[in-house]
Chains A and B, each alone.
Chain A
Amino acid sequence: MINELMIIIFAPLLAGVLAWLLDIKGIREAIGVIGAAIPLAYLIQAYQTLSTQPSIQYSIALAGFKFEFLLYQINWIFAMIAGVVGFAAVLGMVSTAKDSYEWLFALISLTGVLGVFLADDLAGFFIFWEVMTFASFMMVLKYNRKASLKYFLLSVFGAYAMLIAIGIIYAKVGALDFATIQQVLYQDAMRGAFGTDTLFSRNEMILVFGLFLIAFGVKAGMFPLHVWAPDAYSETNQSYTAMFSGVLSKAGVYGMLVIYILLGTRLMYEFGKFGAAPKFGYIIALLGGLTIIVGGLLAALQEDIRKLFAYSSISQIGYILVGIGVGTALSIEAAIYHAVSHALFKGLFFLIVATIIYRTGKTEFKDMGGLAEKMPITFAMAFVAILSLAGIPPLVGFASKWLLFEAVIHENMPILGGMIFFGSAIGFVYLIRFTYAVWFGQRPTDLDDTKDAPLPLAIAMGILALLNVVFGIAPGLVAKELNKIFGKEVIGGTIYELNLGFGRYNGLLITIWLVVGLVIAAIIYFLGAKVRKVPVTDTYQAGNPVTMEYNLTIRRNFFLPLKETLAFWLRISFDRLYQDIGKWIEDLAETMRHYIYNGSVQAYAWYLAIVLLILALWGV
């Protein structure tokens, strides 16, 4: 009965319930951390097993359903993301979680996401999906009702879409486990290729694909379904957001991969190809490209540190979608690589945000500044994270972005290529805004006694920052695991080198030469005369003397010219569109309530009579 997969999935749930029941400060934290550490330990152990056998399988019969669980290379990678980032986030929560309520739901959502990754049939997939959504909804609900409702509505919308799609598949195929569905659809595609009648019609395929796209797009935060993400990501415990954004959004990405695994061949047969990419994939990629641009531009214009990173998270997910959409072996590997690095640097970023908010209690850029001197450790971590997200070699963000660039451009996709280039620049832009407003410049006097990160958060950040550096210098470590997915050497090279045949990247070499360059520069620097430290008030203000009462930093509307340039586009808002639709539905319901459901028994009796009359006339 007790299987390692079950332990991986249910250990966090158990720990969460225990922590909630005991609710003793100190003990609940310990239980929570252990609950997050157990899946990680078992997953690392499973690596050994997976090197000898292709997969680990387990099935459980419950209430007439047979739930299948399977651990193999792809979802091992995703589960490892969940394990590592989840563990780091839970460590961060030791400092920031306020009560046992948060422990319960944070750990339940970890269970949910692990279940989604490991499930091998659509029923289990759907149930864990709902568990994950519900738990994360509860986490948001505690902080902000409105944001949580928005999240809930869109999630429910997505969940229904998925349920309908699953229903259609079940009705046609008669099974829910992945293996059967994959096989049946593959045979269906073959049948179509030979000209005989297919099981699914063209419209049904469009419907199923569209529904799945909505379901997974909502979770991944794909444009134009991203509107819940900025509110939900920002209005919750920021340590938890490290998991929320780093791992839970990956469930959506994993879902897109599931589309490929289950429906890939059939969809490819039905719609054909666009260049090297399947047409259905190109839709995902194009939406991903739009997600990059929209998310990035909006991130640059935010005034709230949490919102900035929420939008940035959306933008980065766009890269992953582009990679998955292009659909060659290389681009899918690149996308998964970027999923790994996104989880690492975005998890790190949200932990940094958690630290800043925990220590200062402020969330808006206008209240911050000059914290680099007061929080050197956190700043060092932020430095790593910034370089990684901006795609500066030799950090993991560059390795994955580089792969993605090469994969997309090599397939002759100029539009997508332009989009991802734009995305990398907009990354610089919003990161510098964060750096400038939080770490540098004039420090408001009320932040003068800010302390550095508490120990658990520092450890959690340290783990993620270390992985950022290690996987950047030795990108082959990840690439080796990714190659196992396809069972062939898609990304060649050694542990330090990625070699695609048409492009090479060597992390170690770059590190060495960067160090050489830095040493040369440092020699020139140290040959010069000694430096004297001057305060921020001793800067050139056209000769005017200033004191700390003056505002020397651009605190609000940092990218005002950008806003002006984009004024026309910024008027278009999907958030407002959805709100208007919501309001319209509300109005409709109001009208209906007024005229039809008016609460009068007599009226209801009349309705009944009319219905009966119609049925009678119909001849039932």
Chain B
Amino acid sequence: MLMIAVKAFLILLYATFMGFMFMGIIRIVTARIHRRVGPPIYQPILDTIKLLSKKSNITHGLIYDFGVIYALGATILALMFIPLGGVSILRAYGDLILITFLLEIPMLGIMFAAMSSGNPWAGLGAQRALLTLLAIQVPLGFAIVALAEFYGTFSTYEIVMAQQTVGWSITHLPLLLAAIAYDIVLQAMFGKEPFDIMIAPGEISLGPMVEFGGKHMGILQIQHAIALFAETLFFSNIFLGGAVVTAFASPILNTIASLAVLLIKQLAVLMIAIFIGVIFPRFTIDQAARFYWKWPTIIAAAGAILAAL
């Protein structure tokens, strides 16, 4: 019991820290592509400390507070189910469908909080966020179906183990197609261009985030960090082979090594997202929906059908 608590705490700490580093990396890489110097890598942590240490906060009612708390809580819940090298605690229950749903729930919390503020921008942002969700769900669904059909199991951990013997998922054609589709979906899940329609700074004033300030926004920053970590981790696990290192004698060394392997894979996923994000302008929502319902869906459906044969 105590062991589980300690493990969970360590995972949480690691995920939060790495998530913040990822956010910092996003900002630095973006800046470098712009030929700027960019902020230090620990900048998101400073931002979060600043937001949490604000001396006055506003609320729009109980749901406004609860939605934010719920978003972070659900993200932590999702994180616990994703296999993280050798340390994850709930990986036996890390079901593909469950994790897919769990990664979507935090957004529901944010939407609840945003909408309860009554700000028109937030309403507009919620609408766009939901339509993006609707748009990405089709290719996402096909990609998950392809995975489950290819491996015949829904357990993420078993998929990771299977990849140790049959090779990474992306080396198989059906799953390569699924991975391409999923990566395009990931772009929208990260909220990066060209699918940052829901946030759209400068257009609808950050959309759902417009009313959050102070500690609410601070909690959402932490949530964003963990979600970023969890999403990249999920992708690395199911498509890039995860990490199971057994080269060393000591289990601690093995764990550290597998975490390092995972980190490299996660960074690769992140970099693709940044590079795509930096060079593209923003879609409008109906363009995004049409795009997602066309090419990624066709690719993912082809993958799913090939996997089913």
Contact = CB atoms under 8 A, between A and B. Distances in A.
* Mutual binders A and B: yes
Interface of A: 275, 370, 372-373, 390-393, 398, 402, 405-406, 409-410, 412-415, 417-418, 420-422, 424-426, 428-429, 432, 435-436, 439-442, 502-506, 509-510, 513-522, 524-525, 527-534, 536, 538-542, 552-554, 558-559, 561-562, 564-565
9 contacts: A391-B101, A417-B148, A428-B104, A432-B126, A516-B76, A516-B77, A518-B69, A518-B70, A539-B60
Contact of B73 (A418, A441, A518, A536): A518
A564 B74 CA distance: 33
A20 to B, nearest CB: 43
B282 to A, nearest CB: 14
A77 to B, nearest CB: 24
Contacts of A412: 149, 308
B235 interface: no
Interface of B: 8, 12, 52-61, 63, 65, 68-77, 80, 90, 92-93, 95-98, 101-102, 104-105, 108, 111-112, 115-121, 123-124, 126-128, 130-131, 133-134, 137-138, 140-142, 144-146, 148-149, 152-155, 205, 210-211, 214-215, 218-219, 222, 284-286, 289-290, 297, 301, 304-305, 307-308
Contact of B65 (A393, A515, A525, A553): A525
A540 B119 contact: yes
B52 A528 contact: yes
Given A425-B138, A532-B56, A561-B289, 11 more contacts: A409-B97, A418-B301, A421-B137, A440-B112, A440-B118, A529-B54, A532-B57, A532-B59, A539-B60, A539-B210, A553-B123
Nearest to A550: B120
Contacts of B60: 533-534, 536, 539
A138 to B, nearest CB: 39
B76 A520 contact: yes
A432 B111 contact: yes
Given A442-B118, A520-B73, A527 B127 contact: no
B69 A522 contact: yes
Contacts of A562: 131, 134, 286, 289
A442 B126 CA distance: 15
Contacts of B95: 402, 406, 503-505
A53 to B, nearest CB: 38
A111 to B, nearest CB: 39
A425 B134 contact: yes
A429 B133 contact: yes
Contacts of B286: 561-562, 564-565
B108 A390 contact: yes
Given A402-B95, A436-B126, A503 B153 contact: yes
B77 A441 contact: no
B137 A504 contact: no
B149 A372 contact: no
A555 to B, nearest CB: 10
Contact of A552 (B57, B77, B118, B149): B118
A373 B61 contact: yes
Contact of A534 (B59, B80, B289): B59
Contact of B154 (A503, A529, A538): A503
A514 B74 contact: yes
B153 A502 contact: yes
A385 to B, nearest CB: 14
B45 to A, nearest CB: 14
A187 B174 CA distance: 43
A540 B123 CA distance: 12
A463 B251 CA distance: 50
A516 B89 CA distance: 14
A441 B115 contact: yes
B93 A509 contact: yes
